[in-house]
Amino acid sequence: MRGEEATPRRILAAAGALFATRGYRATSMNAIAERVGITKAALYYHFSAKDDLLHRLTEPLLEELERALEQAEARGDPEKVRWSAIEGYVDACLRHREALLLLVRDTTLLAQAPVGERFKAVVALAHDLVRGPDRRLEQRVRAAQAVAALGDPVVFFPDAPVTVLRELILGGAHALLDDCRGTGFPGGGDGFEDAAGRTGSPAVGTRGRSRGREGGRPPALSDEQSATARRLYGEGQAVGEIAERFGVSRATVYRVLRTSFER
Look at 121 and 201; give whichever has higher pLDDT: 121
Region 56-84: mean pLDDT is 94
Least confident of 103-107, 114-118, 195-199: 195-199
- Predicted pLDDT of residue 11: 97
Q: Residue 151 contacts by C-beta under 8 Å, 6 or more apart in sequence?
A: 89, 93, 100, 104
Length, in residues, of the chain = 263
Confidence band for 263, pLDDT divided at 50, 70 and 90:
very low
Domain boundaries, the chain: 1-48, 49-261
Nearest to 145 by CA among 164, 163, 123, 165: 123
Region 147-157: mean pLDDT is 93
pLDDT reading at 207 higher than 70: no
Q: Taking the model in full, what pTM does it have?
A: 0.72
Domain 1-48 has CATH 3.40.50.720: no
